[in-house]
Amino acid sequence: DAGVIQSPRHEVTEMGQEVTLRCKPISGHNSLFWYRQTMMRGLELLIYFNNNVPIDDSGMPEDRFSAKMPNASFSTLKIQPSEPRDSAVYFCASRSGTSPYNEQFFGPGTRLTVL
Amino acid sequence: AQRVTQPEKLLSVFKGAPVELKCNYSYSGSPELFWYVQYSRQRLQLLLRHISRESIKGFTADLNKGETSFHLKKPFAQEEDSAMYYCALSGDGNKLVFGAGTILRVKS
């Protein structure tokens, strides 16, 4: 099993452009999480889904950010328009079941640079 | 509100020295605490969880509700312990709230 898959691994874009990050969770996992990692703030939860339904998006910084999970094997995080302060590493994680005791499995991350 | 505080951005120790990575939390209910670790060029992964009361790679962590702490300890640091460590709390909503992380650097 390749684990959680994220693409692209690196993204460099210019301010104002649309950015789409992709995630494929581990097969059979029904919870999916999007995080943002920065040196200043560490790992912040942006949004999470249970069974493809968004449960908590309180961490989404503003309306420029949106996330979808059209099916159990795919999710996207979109930033439109992007700004330099969005530069960070974005992680996707998946988990079996909904219990917080279950381990979250993380993808390799997407390093986003907005110029 | 749920909050996790890791006061040290960087902790540098010599090989063989004891290690203590600090974690304090704020939560009005009964929390579940975790430590996650990210080694260089590897994915973030679970190290240990409070409920299991386990020792992983020589690390232990005890939940102190009076001090609202969940410090990670190891009696003798090894070079391969160098990594980023995140403390995390699960309170409401079946989600994890992470601290800002501490980089542990073990020097030879």
What does the alpha-carbon distance between residue A68 and residue A74 come to, in Å, rounded to a whole number?
Answer: 9
d(CA B71, CA B25): 10
Comparing alpha-carbon positions, the chain B residue that sits nearest to A3 is: B43
Q: How far apart are CA A84 and CA A64, in angstroms?
A: 13
**Which residues of chain B are within 8 Å of residue A100 when distances are taken between CB atoms?**
32, 90, 94-96
Interior/surface letters A64-94, b for 16+ CB within 10 angstroms, e for the rest: ebebebeebbebebebeebeeebbbbbbbbb
A42 in contact with chain B, both atoms CB, cutoff 8 A: yes
Give me the pLDDT at residue B92, please.
72
> Strand A74-79 to strand A19-24: parallel, antiparallel, or no bridges (unpaired)?
antiparallel
* pLDDT for A40: 83
DSSP assigned state of B41: T
CB pairs < 8 Å spanning A and B: 56
Strand intervals (E) in chain B? 3-5, 10-14, 19-21, 24-26, 32-38, 45-49, 60-61, 72-74, 83-90, 96-98, 102-107
User: Would you say residue B93 has pLDDT above 70?
Assistant: no
Q: Is A41 on the interface with B (CB under 8 A)?
A: yes
d(CA B43, CA A26): 14
Q: What is the mean pLDDT of chain A?
A: 94
- Tens of pLDDT, residues A14-50: 999 999 999 999 999 999 999 999 988 889 999 999 9
The pLDDT value given to residue B13: 97
Chain A neighbors of B96, CB-CB under 8 A: 33, 45, 100, 104
- Would you say B71 and B34 are in contact if contact means Cβ atoms under 8 Å apart? no
Note whether A106 contacts B43, CB cutoff 8 Å: yes
A63 phi and psi angles, rounded to 5 deg = -65, -15
Mean pLDDT of B74-89: 96
Task: Flag if B101 and A44 touch (Cβ within 8 Å).
Answer: no
pLDDT at B69 over 70: yes
pLDDT band at B52 (very low <50, low <70, confident <90, very high): confident
